[in-house]
Amino acid sequence: MQLEAMDGNNKRARWMVGAALTAVVVVVVTTVLILGGRNVGGAPATARVWAAVASFRQGSIDLSSSPPAAARHDDRLYNGLLTDSFDEESCHSRYQSAMYRGKPGRRPSAYLISKLRRHEALQRRCGPGTTAYSNALEQLRAGSMSTIAPPECAYIVSISYSGLGNRILAAASAFLYAVLTDRVLLVDPSNDMDDLFCEPFPGTTWLLPPGFPVANYTGFGVDTAESYGNMVRNKVVVESGGVADAASTAGRRLPLPAFAYVHLHNDATVEDNYFFCDGDQRLLRRVQWLAVRTDSYIVPGLFLVQAFQGELDRMFPERDAVFHHLGRYLFHPSNHVWGLVTRYYDAYLATAQQRVGIQVRVFGAQPNSPELLEQITSCTQKQKLLPELRLATGEPTPPPPPVPASRARSKAVLVTSLKSWYYEKLKSMYWEHAAATGEAVSVHQPSHEEYQRSGARSHEHKAWAEMYLLSLTDVLVTTGVSTFGYVAQGLAGVRPWVLYKSTNSSAVPDPPCGWDVSMEPCFHKPPSYDCRLKQWTADISKDVPYIQHCHDLTWGLKLVGRNK
């Protein structure tokens, strides 16, 4: 009885919510049609309605002052980057994220889109559950040696370790390599990689199924005998480092194992880094299974391989948008994480006129740093990202704003950090003092986990939600050399203001920050062996016009939009 009554109440409540939503949509749609003559950038009516509803959800429709509804981004497939063939319920973020973004971001090239669709077909044809996959596993179990040119279905397993930002950049790098070499990408599900993201490829899984026959592969390291570097050193493969061309030596038909481990962690040896050489890539094509271990964004290294350059140029005519596209294509928060993102965004960030993200990467044992706080305030105020304080300039307290707070210009600041101290200080500053511009500044921090606890589920959920929330801000300030910030800036499509590392921990660097040269992540440990010249080099990027050193790590490399 009671259950039935509750059921009746629930139905009524649902009906009332439904009726209220319908009324809202009718009002919004009518508003859009009435305002139809205003600048809508040629967007079709349905898109305008979609954008208006999106704006309404975000509370950003203010008929007196807000820009036309269509100013909000309305292409939920990111200009064709995503395919329409998923069940929306399985992954809300995939088709909803675009309406949370202030700017649409860069447009993917038609060639990239066609490569992605072709790659999706490959993942389906050769992925887990197919006969091709079972056969390939058989070859691996049997330890077969191969002399034939590239097998029909080949695989790369991305090992998931280290912090979440590292894992995301590693998987994105492995994916680009997979696209370039026609390999199926399989992601090792460790560290909650199976729980944080939706599946990116329709009709198949990107997760490596249980029972992978290579024992302890997740624990492989620089000394592992199966690593490509050690195979080179032990002469299991003879052609390497660009020293000889695979097609022109006696070793041309040398049998190769079905499996090789590619060690690109930051202790990689010179032989491991032969991975970035053309001759070695020709050899690796014949190895059916690769497992790669990296915690870095190795993509700039792939741009050093001559054989890949033509394809990369066609896929990414804008070289500074590689991770931007790969990230938006691959990493969709799972429904649980998306709930964390949207509830927070809707509650604290949606109504502000501008959102400023500040990522403060700190480490557990590090004391709170007044110098870093000063660096953050000095950077944000000098660059006019946040207003100066009225009292700090010695002026009298201003009169209350002439308009209600809800109509005043407002900024919402999203602080992400393992500690709450920086957030508390910033929040107090803008509460205790008026902004010189009269703006209302609110400061928010979703969590402060105190210590990095990679692999702990709820910690990982929060980390991913916060990275994603940062990517929904309009302006970003980041602490350098952090993959957490790199992921946010790439997904956002925003060049961050990077807080320079102080050489003297008790002094604030001058200038406190600089606008990064591109939104691309930095490759922290690039190779220093020039395969073409067959010699060591201090600057591997010198002949590549669109790769330059990172501001936040001088020996690191990053892709830039214009030639250096």
Q: Among the candidate windows 161-169, 199-207, 242-250, 285-293, which touches ligand GDP by CB under 6 A? A: 161-169
CB atoms within 10 A of CB 68: 18
Q: Among the candidate windows 112-120, 297-305, 451-459, 504-512, which touches ligand GDP by CB under 6 A? A: 451-459
Q: Is position 416 an interface residue for ligand GDP (rule: CB under 6 A)? A: yes
Query: Which CB, 363 or 396, lies closer to ligand GDP?
Result: 363
Q: Is position 137 an interface residue for ligand GDP (rule: CB under 6 A)? A: no
Answer for which of 79, 454, 502, 537 binds ligand GDP (CB under 6 A) is 454
Q: Is position 158 an interface residue for ligand GDP (rule: CB under 6 A)? A: no
Q: How far is the CB of 164 from ligand GDP (least distance, A)?
A: 3
Q: Which of 372, 341, 364, 551 is nearest to 467 (CA)?
A: 341
Q: How far is the CB of 465 from ligand GDP (least distance, A)?
A: 8
Q: Is position 294 an interface residue for ligand GDP (rule: CB under 6 A)? A: no
**To 5 degrees, how large is the angle CA 107–CA 483–CA 177?**
60
Q: How far is the CB of 423 from ligand GDP (least distance, A)?
A: 10
The pair of structure tokens assigned to 178 is 């997979």
Instruction: Please list, residue by residue across 493-532, b when 16 or more beta carbons sit within 10 angstroms of its beta carbon and e when fewer do.
Output: bbbbbbbbebeeeeebbeebbbebbbbbbbbbbbbebbbe
Side-chain half-sphere exposure of 202, counting CA atoms within 13 A: 12
Query: Which CB, 166 or 294, lies closer to ligand GDP?
Result: 166
Q: Is position 512 an interface residue for ligand GDP (rule: CB under 6 A)? A: no
Contacts of 65 (CB under 8 A, 6+ apart): 407
Cis peptide before 511 (omega within 30 of 0): yes
**Strands of 396-505, DSSP E:** 410-417, 440-444, 475-479, 497-499
**Is the distance from CB of 197 to CB of 168 less than 8 angstroms?**
no
Query: Which CB, 97 or 452, lies closer to ligand GDP?
Result: 452
Q: Is position 444 an interface residue for ligand GDP (rule: CB under 6 A)? A: no
The pair of structure tokens assigned to 320 is 């500074």
Q: Is position 490 an interface residue for ligand GDP (rule: CB under 6 A)? A: no
The binding track of 342-381 with respect to ligand GDP, each residue x by CB under 6 A or -, is: -------------------x--------------------
Q: How far is the CB of 62 from ligand GDP (least distance, A)?
A: 31
Q: How far is the CB of 468 from ligand GDP (least distance, A)?
A: 11
Whole-number Cα distances in Å, 524 to 85, 168, 267, 393, 558:
36, 15, 11, 41, 9
**Is the distance from CB of 476 to CB of 494 less than 8 angstroms?**
yes
Q: Is position 98 an interface residue for ligand GDP (rule: CB under 6 A)? A: no
**Is the distance from CB of 383 to CB of 503 less than 8 angstroms?**
no
**Is the distance from CB of 133 to CB of 153 less than 8 angstroms?**
yes
Q: How far is the CB of 380 from ligand GDP (least distance, A)?
A: 17
The binding track of 465-484 with respect to ligand GDP, each residue x by CB under 6 A or -, is: -x---------------xxx
Q: Is position 296 an interface residue for ligand GDP (rule: CB under 6 A)? A: no
Q: How far is the CB of 484 from ligand GDP (least distance, A)?
A: 4
Q: Is position 190 an interface residue for ligand GDP (rule: CB under 6 A)? A: no
Contacts of 157 (CB under 8 A, 6+ apart): 186, 187, 188, 208, 212, 217, 289, 290, 291, 292
Query: Which CB, 166 or 342, lies closer to ligand GDP?
Result: 166
- Residue keyed to tokens 């990172």: 550
Query: Which CB, 281 or 445, lies closer to ligand GDP?
Result: 445
Please count the residues of this chain forming the interface with ligand GDP, following the rule CB under 6 A.
Answer: 20
- CA–CA dist 451, 365 (Å, integer): 8
The pair of structure tokens assigned to 474 is 């309009």
Q: Is position 417 an interface residue for ligand GDP (rule: CB under 6 A)? A: yes
Q: How far is the CB of 467 from ligand GDP (least distance, A)?
A: 7
- Residue keyed to tokens 């000889």: 244
Query: Which CB, 131 or 368, lies closer to ligand GDP?
Result: 368
Q: Is position 230 an interface residue for ligand GDP (rule: CB under 6 A)? A: no
Backbone angles phi and psi of 410, in degrees to 5: -135, 150
Q: Is position 165 an interface residue for ligand GDP (rule: CB under 6 A)? A: yes
Amino acid at 12: R
Answer for which of 185, 277, 315, 463 binds ligand GDP (CB under 6 A) is 463
Q: Among the candidate windows 48-56, 171-179, 412-420, 534-542, which touches ligand GDP by CB under 6 A? A: 412-420
**Is the distance from CB of 477 to CB of 357 less than 8 angstroms?**
yes
Q: Is position 427 an interface residue for ligand GDP (rule: CB under 6 A)? A: no
Answer for which of 48, 319, 462, 525 binds ligand GDP (CB under 6 A) is 462
**To 5 degrees, how large is the angle CA 331–CA 332–CA 334?**
125
Q: How far is the CB of 186 from ligand GDP (least distance, A)?
A: 21
Q: Which strands form 259-263's sheet, in the order they lie side by side? A: 183-187, 154-158, 289-293, 259-263
**Is the distance from CB of 158 to CB of 185 less than 8 angstroms?**
yes
Answer for which of 418, 472, 498, 559 binds ligand GDP (CB under 6 A) is 418
Contacts of 193 (CB under 8 A, 6+ apart): 160, 167, 171, 187, 207
- CA–CA dist 414, 100 (Å, integer): 15
Query: Which CB, 487 or 531, lies closer to ligand GDP?
Result: 487
Query: Which CB, 457 or 564, lies closer to ligand GDP?
Result: 457
Q: Is position 447 an interface residue for ligand GDP (rule: CB under 6 A)? A: yes
Q: Is position 489 an interface residue for ligand GDP (rule: CB under 6 A)? A: no
Q: How far is the CB of 364 from ligand GDP (least distance, A)?
A: 9
Binding site for ligand GDP (CB under 6 A): 162-166, 361, 416-418, 447, 449, 452, 454, 459, 462-463, 466, 482-484
